[in-house]
């Protein structure tokens, strides 16, 4: 599936576990229903299940409903709800409100979350979990490469991310290229294949952005650029070519004889030019940040500024540009010259200037298990608590163009959330559970899963799943 | 926030020379406070031990009086009178100055370019004659950085990366030059086992077995050198061997005077460290120790102290099985343990032990024990507890001041005091 494939009827059947992801949770809690759950990929068998779902729909759907009661709900999109009820059905949030306002459907599984806090699942706009890479060392511009071809979704780093409350990551190639490749948006569903974690657009294509970088990381020996001006010139050249490629296609008006030869490099850049692929741009120094904005203005791509170490020096320019910033929080300045002036106050300064701010782990640079900490340190430096929580969730969704389906606790959105033991910004708070699309993907009370939250022997070993997302015994 | 205002106001009175807002306080800008200073804390964690070995209860509404750099009184405000001429500083929480039990700060500079990287000499695998004191840059900005979070002591030196990379030493995070900073000029000899100290193809050591063989051989050579000296002393006819600085250092390790700090993470490498200790009968301090949770009995039996890796160390490579609960487990088992910031090759260029101990606390290490990892227990392990690590009469006036629970993400360090001088007034 993917690049050369459009949605077929059988695909819909094979995504049944995703259409009704609550099934796995129900089966865990209700052994009887587990017997009726599809256990093989047999199409015929799955077809029977579809029929079953259609005809016995009401019964099943009621059981597919889970109500979390008693928790403090922090929806991000609205005010905090004490003694809240969160109703999840078919992988989506059905309703949210106080215990007085929400009627829990009959037959719903009730989970007591009293004393706990439920927040939207954390979204990391810049992650390297699964170690998916992009281009090789043959050249600085390789938008034809795609991290989904190299990411290992069975890597322990994905388990750690789930243990950190993450539900969605932008899986990025590295910053050693001007354009290192296409990124992949991964929902951290349980799954042993990358296809099970992909987010598809309305046409069935895996969603992702385009990774770009400037500054010293992408300046290397030839054929890579040696200076900042050369870096910008090479990018400019690539986008000009893409414009010409796009124009040629337009002029061909569908005539195969006039169409240019298909070029995967150009296709990704055209998608960026057309606003279909968001550019995620690594940049640190104040002048490099402005260069990104200059190129954006020249070519009109949609850009998210990543890391932005010296954002505080050009905050007015960033605010005027309207570009959102995805920040990294590092425990000490430096490590390289262009990160010398990184400030923990970037969050508050940008927030006050009205810039849309998110955080990212850049995992393995910072640990996904401690993603909440990044925002907490921004709060320490003056950022508002509300802004910091938004920066871990809804703002991240916006920067991936996915705010319509995740990032906040709103009816109709994916049931992606984390259950915490306390204040999101306290060092003593633990992520107790993580849920993606109504399915529990992390449970701290299970010792095998807790291992990934705290570490220890075996925590560094990559794990195996069978086809349908249920955890196999650890190897 | 009243105490904060008071504190800032006091600083304005006290620190006229430190007007360079946001800049680091250069040593020459740090005012020497003559006479008495009194630090008042709503909670004062003295980190003193009671006679039964347990931690003394923190003092509520406590006072620490410092005269000429030394603590002269500690106790509740009701029992410690603050003389009228004392300079008063207030904070919600006061702790002893923090100790980073193994750092490379001062040798591994923040820019990460050749000119500021002195933590590792790669010309030969074993160079115990290298002295961290000769490489310490007292004006390195990362010193000011960690100091602003309360760190007053660094056990610093050559990074892991060579079989024997040199001698470490201890400084206070003050002073324009190394002589003004040094607290203990020679501390340990740094040794690395495992993948971090393997060399390129064709160079030794290329395997773990070779690492052990080379170490054994080198210590045997040191013994032979010692015997030659002894023989020459006994027999005037015999010439003493040419002086060998490297062997002199190794002899101090063999005599038990200097601990061998072995950086080791994996199970195999930790077992090798344990074996070497048994074979040579030397004093070994295990540094890093990602998988040491599997060797707690042996560590106790062989009296090996541990400088555990920073809690947030990356779970990859040799540290892939590291656990955020290890510090707590070692403490519970009674293994003497301290925490260091370790070595980072990229970002963050240094870790801050305050935050590392905080995570250890959040992952099962009781609060006082976690604070001990970076104060009293660290001082004990480094043999400097007569000077620092706890707030007790006669010890150095080194303190860290906070506006709340020091471990909380959103708490700020509001001041750092060394020898009774306010060396940082930044709010971080």
ipTM of the complex: 0.92
- List pLDDT tens digits, range B174-197: 999 999 999 999 999 999 999 999
CATH of domain B98-197+245-388: 3.20.20.140
Model-level pTM? 0.90
* Confidence at residue A44, expressed as pLDDT on a 0 to 100 scale: 57
Interface test with B, best of A157, A332, A453 (most B CBs within 10 A): A332
* Confidence at residue B20, expressed as pLDDT on a 0 to 100 scale: 36
Are B407 and B370 in contact by the 8 Å Cβ rule? The answer is yes
Share of chain A above pLDDT 70, in %: 84
For A469-473, B205-209, B324-328, which range has the lowest pLDDT when averaged over its residues? A469-473
Out of B346, B352, B407, whose CB is closest to A331?
B352
What pLDDT band is residue A222 in, cutting at 50, 70 and 90?
Answer: very high
Kindly list the distances between the CA atom of residue A407 and the CA atoms of A13, A23, A275, A400, B39, in Å, as whole numbers in the listed order.
Answer: 27, 23, 21, 10, 46
- List pLDDT tens digits, range B382-415: 999 999 999 999 999 999 999 999 999 999 999 9
* Number of CB atoms found within 10 A of residue A68's CB: 26
For A225-234, A436-445, B30-39, B101-110, which range has the lowest pLDDT when averaged over its residues? B30-39
Nearest-Cα distance to chain B for A100, in Å, is 34
Nearest CA in chain B to A332: B348
- List pLDDT tens digits, range A297-351: 999 999 999 999 999 999 999 999 999 999 999 999 999 999 999 999 999 999 9
Nearest-Cα distance to chain A for B313, in Å, is 9
Out of A377, A427, A458, whose CB is closest to B321?
A458
- List pLDDT tens digits, range A107-151: 999 999 999 999 999 999 999 999 889 999 999 999 999 999 999
Contacts of A330 in chain B (CB under 8 A): 347-348
Q: Is B113 at the interface with chain A, CB within 8 A?
A: yes
- List pLDDT tens digits, range B270-309: 999 999 999 999 999 999 999 999 999 999 999 999 999 9
Residue bearing tokens 């060092």: A427
- List pLDDT tens digits, range B5-24: 444 444 444 433 333 333 34
Nearest-Cα distance to chain B for A344, in Å, is 9
Q: Reply yes or no: is the peptide bond before residue B348 cis, omega within 30 of 0.
A: yes
* Confidence at residue A77, expressed as pLDDT on a 0 to 100 scale: 98
**Cβ neighbours of residue A201 closer than 8 Å, sequence gap 6 or more:** A207
Q: Which runs of consecutive H residues, i.e. helices, occur in A393-446?
A: 394-399
* Confidence at residue A45, expressed as pLDDT on a 0 to 100 scale: 57
Contacts of B324 in chain A (CB under 8 A): 454-455
Q: Is A380 at the interface with chain B, CB within 8 A?
A: yes
Inter-chain touch B362–A428, beta carbons under 8 Å: yes
- All structural domains of chain B with their residue ranges: 25-97+394-428, 98-197+245-388
* Confidence at residue A298, expressed as pLDDT on a 0 to 100 scale: 98
On the question of pLDDT at A22 being above 90, the answer is no
Nearest-Cα distance to chain A for B359, in Å, is 7
Share of chain B above pLDDT 70, in %: 92
What pLDDT band is residue A16 in, cutting at 50, 70 and 90?
Answer: very low
Q: Which two tokens stand for residue A422?
A: 């306390």
- Cβ pairs bridging A and B (under 8 Å): 112
Nearest-Cα distance to chain A for B109, in Å, is 8
Contacts of A459 in chain B (CB under 8 A): 315, 320-321, 323
What pLDDT band is residue A62 in, cutting at 50, 70 and 90?
Answer: low
Are B420 and B68 in contact by the 8 Å Cβ rule? The answer is yes
On the question of pLDDT at B377 being above 80, the answer is yes
Contacts of A460 in chain B (CB under 8 A): 315-316, 320-321
Inter-chain touch B112–A335, beta carbons under 8 Å: yes
Inter-chain touch A332–B359, beta carbons under 8 Å: no
**Cβ neighbours of residue B202 closer than 8 Å, sequence gap 6 or more:** none
Out of B316, B351, B411, whose CB is closest to A364?
B316
Out of A335, A340, A427, whose CB is closest to B408?
A427
What pLDDT band is residue B159 in, cutting at 50, 70 and 90?
Answer: confident
Burial class (CB in 10 A: 0-12, 13-18, 19+), B5: exposed
Q: What is the DSSP string of A125-136?
A: EEE-GGG-----
* Confidence at residue A47, expressed as pLDDT on a 0 to 100 scale: 57
* Confidence at residue A15, expressed as pLDDT on a 0 to 100 scale: 40
Q: Is B195 at the interface with chain A, CB within 8 A?
A: no
Inter-chain touch A458–B142, beta carbons under 8 Å: no
* Chain A (439-468) residues lying within 8 Å, Cβ to Cβ, of chain B: 454-461
Q: Is A332 at the interface with chain B, CB within 8 A?
A: yes
Are A450 and A469 in contact by the 8 Å Cβ rule? The answer is no
**φ, ψ of residue A71 in degrees (nearest 5):** -85, 160
Q: Is A365 at the interface with chain B, CB within 8 A?
A: yes
Contacts of B359 in chain A (CB under 8 A): 370, 427
On the question of pLDDT at A24 being above 50, the answer is no
Q: Is A364 at the interface with chain B, CB within 8 A?
A: yes
Inter-chain touch A459–B294, beta carbons under 8 Å: no
On the question of pLDDT at B142 being above 70, the answer is yes
Q: Which runs of consecutive H residues, i.e. helices, occur in A253-314?
A: 264-273, 286-299
Are A198 and A183 in contact by the 8 Å Cβ rule? The answer is no
On the question of pLDDT at A53 being above 80, the answer is no
Contacts of A338 in chain B (CB under 8 A): none
On the question of pLDDT at A426 being above 80, the answer is yes
Inter-chain touch A427–B363, beta carbons under 8 Å: no
Sign, Cα dihedral of B114, B118, B119, B124: positive
Out of B315, B324, B349, whose CB is closest to A332?
B349
CATH of domain B25-97+394-428: 2.30.40.10
- List pLDDT tens digits, range B229-242: 999 999 999 999 99
Our CA angle for B423, B424, B428, nearest 5°, is 160
Inter-chain touch A459–B411, beta carbons under 8 Å: no
């Amino acid at each position: 599936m993917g690049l050369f494939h459009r949605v077929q009827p059988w695909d819909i059947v094979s995504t049944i576990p995703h259409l009704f992801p609550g099934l796995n949770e129900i089966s865990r809690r209700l052994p009887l229903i587990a017997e009726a759950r599809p256990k093989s990929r047999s199409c015929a068998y799955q077809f029977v299940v579809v029929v079953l779902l259609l005809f016995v729909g009401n019964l099943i759907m009621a059981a597919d409903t889970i109500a979390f009661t008693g928790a403090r709900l922090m929806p991000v999109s609205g005010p905090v709800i004490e003694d809240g009820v969160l109703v999840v059905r078919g992988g989506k949030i059905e309703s949210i409100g106080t215990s007085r306002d929400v009627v829990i459907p009959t037959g719903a599984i009730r989970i007591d979350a009293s004393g706990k806090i439920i927040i939207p699942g954390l979204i990391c706009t810049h992650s390297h979990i699964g170690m998916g890479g992009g281009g090789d060392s043959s050249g600085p511009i390789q938008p034809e490469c795609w991290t989904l071809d190299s990411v290992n979704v069975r890597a322990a780093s994905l388990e750690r991310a789930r243990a950190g409350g993450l539900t969605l990551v932008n899986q990025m190639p590295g910053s050693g290229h001007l354009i290192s490749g296409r990124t992949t948006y991964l929902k951290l569903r349980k799954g042993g294949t990358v296809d099970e974690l992909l987010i598809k657009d309305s046409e069935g294509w895996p969603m992702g952005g385009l990774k770009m970088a400037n500054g010293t990381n992408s300046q290397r020996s030839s054929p890579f650029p040696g200076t900042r001006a050369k870096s910008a010139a090479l990018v400019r050249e690539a986008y000009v070519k893409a414009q010409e490629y796009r124009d040629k296609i337009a002029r061909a008006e569908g005539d195969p004889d006039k169409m240019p030869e298909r070029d995967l490099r150009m296709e990704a850049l055209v998608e960026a030019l057309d606003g279909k692929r968001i550019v995620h741009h690594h940049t640190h120094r104040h002048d490099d940040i402005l260069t990104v904005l200059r190129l954006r203005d020249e070519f009109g791509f949609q850009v998210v500024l990543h890391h932005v170490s010296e954002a505080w020096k050009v905050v007015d320019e960033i605010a005027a540009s309207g570009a959102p910033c995805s920040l990294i929080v590092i425990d000490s300045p430096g490590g390289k010259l262009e990160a010398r002036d990184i400030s923990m106050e970037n969050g508050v300064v940008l927030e006050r200037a009205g810039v849309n701010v998110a955080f990212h782990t850049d995992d393995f640079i910072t640990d996904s298990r401690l993603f909440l900490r990044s925002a907490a340190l921004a709060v320490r430096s003056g950022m508002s608590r509300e802004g910091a929580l938004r920066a871990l969730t809804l703002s991240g969704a916006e920067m991936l163009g996915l705010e319509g389906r995740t990032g906040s606790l709103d009816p109709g959105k994916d049931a992606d959330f984390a259950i915490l033991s306390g204040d999101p910004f306290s060092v003593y708070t633990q992520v107790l559970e993580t849920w993606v699309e109504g399915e529990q993907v992390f449970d701290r009370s299970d010792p095998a899963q807790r291992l990934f939250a705290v570490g220890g022997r075996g925590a560094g070993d990559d794990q195996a799943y069978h086809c349908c997302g249920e955890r196999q015994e650890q190897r | 926030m009243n105490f904060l205002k008071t504190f800032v106001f006091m600083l304005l009175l006290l620190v006229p020379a430190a007007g360079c807002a946001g800049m680091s306080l250069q040593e020459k800008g740090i005012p020497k406070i003559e006479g008495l200073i009194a630090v008042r804390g709503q909670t004062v964690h003295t980190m003193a031990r009671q006679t039964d070995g347990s931690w003394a209860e923190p003092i509520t509404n406590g006072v620490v009086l410092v005269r000429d750099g030394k603590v002269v009184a500690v106790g509740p405000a009701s029992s410690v009178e603050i003389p009228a001429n004392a300079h008063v500083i207030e904070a919600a929480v006061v702790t002893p100055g923090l100790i980073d039990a193994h750092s490379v700060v001062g040798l591994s500079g923040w820019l990460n370019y050749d000119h500021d990287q002195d933590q590792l000499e790669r010309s030969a695998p074993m160079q115990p004659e290298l002295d961290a004191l000769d490489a310490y840059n007292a004006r390195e900005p990362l010193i000011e950085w960690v100091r602003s979070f309360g760190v007053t002591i660094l056990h610093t030196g050559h990074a892991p990366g060579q079989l024997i990379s040199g001698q470490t030493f201890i400084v206070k995070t003050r002073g324009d030059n190394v002589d003004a900073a040094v607290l203990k000029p020679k501390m340990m000899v740094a040794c690395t086992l495992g993948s971090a100290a393997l060399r390129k193809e064709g160079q030794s050591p290329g395997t773990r077995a070779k690492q052990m063989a080379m170490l054994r051989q080198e210590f045997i050579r040191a013994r032979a050198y010692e015997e030659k000296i002894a023989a020459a002393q006994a027999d005037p006819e015999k010439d003493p061997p040419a002086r060998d600085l490297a062997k002199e250092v190794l002899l101090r390790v063999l005599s038990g005077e200097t601990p061998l700090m072995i950086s080791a993470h994996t199970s195999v490498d930790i077992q090798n460290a344990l074996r070497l200790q048994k074979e040579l009968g030397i004093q070994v301090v295990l540094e890093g120790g990602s998988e040491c949770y599997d060797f707690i009995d042996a560590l106790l039996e062989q009296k090996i102290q541990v400088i555990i890796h920073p809690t947030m160390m990356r779970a990859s490579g040799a540290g892939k099985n590291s656990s955020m609960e290890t510090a707590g487990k070692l403490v519970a088992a009674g293994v003497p343990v301290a925490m260091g910031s370790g070595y980072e090759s990229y970002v963050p260029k240094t870790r801050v032990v305050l935050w590392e101990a905080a995570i250890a606390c959040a992952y099962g290490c009781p609060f006082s024990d976690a604070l001990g990892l970076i104060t009293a227990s660290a001082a004990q392990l480094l043999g400097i507890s007569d000077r620092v690590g706890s707030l007790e009469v006669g010890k150095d006036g080194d303190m860290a001041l906070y506006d709340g629970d020091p471990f909380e993400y959103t708490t700020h360090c509001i001041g750092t005091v060394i020898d009774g001088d306010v060396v940082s007034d930044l709010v971080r």
